[in-house]
Structure 1
Amino acid sequence: MHENRPGTARERLLAAALDLFAEHGVSGTSLQMIADRLGVTKAAVYHQFQSKDDIVLAVIDPALSRLGPIADHAEAQRGHVARRDTVLHGVVDLVVEFRKVSATLSFDPVVMRLVRAHPALRSLQRIRRLLGGTAPDPGSRVRMAVLSGGLMMAGADPAVIRLDDEDYRDHLLAAARRILVR
């Protein structure tokens, strides 16, 4: 198994891949480009990962793997408002921590394909339910779509890119709460 500490060959490879994905998209980034960015051979990249999909999964998995614990923690709360607030805090913290990943990969077709097949998709559906996103009325569905899309895109907007994490988190939470108010 590969080490997962910052500074390891694996972490440097993932950082280089994320930078290249931001510049060229996942489909426009080759394993050779990643190797060239790192100054290593393509064989060295293959030593760490068997495919580009494996690299993409390794980039997004730390965020996706946190969805289940967020939903678990929220489901343990008493009352709809407490569950919703717990989910909002958890998801906003996730967006803040992984803003570069989200801004870079949220709407990439390769990433969307991989996420649709990822086990974390069930946790994402749980989170939507906890936020009230399964209500049958059109207004609830639209609010959930605005909230989901807004949170994913917030990290990519140049107007907020320089906000420090605390301000960014506070403003995301406030905006999310306003969107969810019925």
Structure 2
Amino acid sequence: MHVVSARERLLTAALDLFAEHGVSGTSLQMIADRLGVTKAAVYHQFQSKDDIVLAVIDPALNRLGPIADEAEAQRGNAARREQVLAGVVDLVVGFRKVSATLSFDPVVMRLVRAHPALRNLQRIRRLLGGTAPDPGSRVRMAVIAGGLMMAGADPAVTGLDDEDFRDHLLAAGRRILKG
């Protein structure tokens, strides 16, 4: 049985409030009120709202390095590409709610642009074959990067269970990468 910590409850409440009001529209007092605690109790866990946002998105961003590591351990470009595609798809599926809630938020975009884990996105692009200079490769990378990452935020796929969603994302990614 998993016991939910105070930190996990706070992050869940914050994510729910971010979904309702956006990051900028959510105050620390709102988070405290949702939890039935004082604002001081929120500050005991996190020093700022940015720290809360980072705690929500860090697990996803921190998966980028291991995805690239696992892919780089494969033999051959095709195996590397398949491994990184599967890893990114699993990431999208696993963090659907975070993606749907925070993908377009300007505060989140600012924090993500400064996040050290972003250097791993370049590794992932390289593993997918995105360093080729030709226009077709560059467009395929843009579609993969934007399309797969944003798929979790699309209301059209909300009703799909994780397994179906994963299977269809993998199939779409493979078709795009074929060119």
TM band (smaller chain): over 0.9
Gaps of 5+ in 2: none
Distance 2:46 2:152 in 1: 27
Q: 1:164 aligns with which of 148, 161, 164?
A: 161
RMSD of equivalent CA atoms: 1.2
CA contact (8 A) 2:103 2:153 kept: no
Partner of 1:48: 45
TM norm structure 1? 0.93
Which one is further off, 77-86 or 155-164? Answer: 155-164
The SS at the match of 2:154 is: coil
Q: Superposed, which structure 2 residues align to 1:87-126 within 5 Å?
A: 87-126=84-123
Number of residue equivalences: 178
Q: What's the CA shift for 1:6? A: 5.2
In the TM superposition, what whole-angstrom CA distance separates every residue of 1:61-113 from its partner, at most 9, and x where no partner exists?
Answer: 11111111110110111111100000011110111111111111122211111
Which one is further off, 33-42 or 77-86? Answer: 33-42
Partner of 1:28: 25
- Tell me: CA distance 1:88–1:153, structure 2 relative to 1, closer, same or farther (3 Å): same
Partner of 1:139: 136
Q: What's the CA shift for 1:18? A: 0.6
Could you tell me which amino acid in structure 1 is paired with residue 14 of structure 2? Answer: A
Could you tell me which amino acid in structure 1 is paired with residue 53 of structure 2? Answer: V
Could you tell me which amino acid in structure 1 is paired with residue 94 of structure 2? Answer: E
Distance 2:155 2:163 in 1: 17
Distance 1:93 1:152 in 2: 11
Q: What's the CA shift for 1:118? A: 1.2
Could you tell me which amino acid in structure 1 is paired with residue 101 of structure 2? Answer: T
CA contact (8 A) 1:103 1:152 kept: no
The SS at the match of 1:136 is: coil
TM norm structure 2? 0.95
Distance 1:79 1:175 in 2: 22
The SS at the match of 1:29 is: coil
CA contact (8 A) 1:6 1:12 kept: no
Could you tell me which amino acid in structure 1 is paired with residue 15 of structure 2? Answer: L
In the TM superposition, what whole-angstrom CA distance separates every residue of 1:5-35 from its partner, at most 9, and x where no partner exists?
Answer: 7511100100011111111111111111111
1:80 aligns with 2:74: no
The SS at the match of 1:159 is: helix
Could you tell me which amino acid in structure 1 is paired with residue 131 of structure 2? Answer: T
Could you tell me which amino acid in structure 1 is paired with residue 44 of structure 2? Answer: H
Distance 1:180 1:108 in 2: 28
Identical positions, percent: 88
The SS at the match of 1:135 is: coil
Distance 1:139 1:44 in 2: 52
Distance 1:145 1:104 in 2: 22
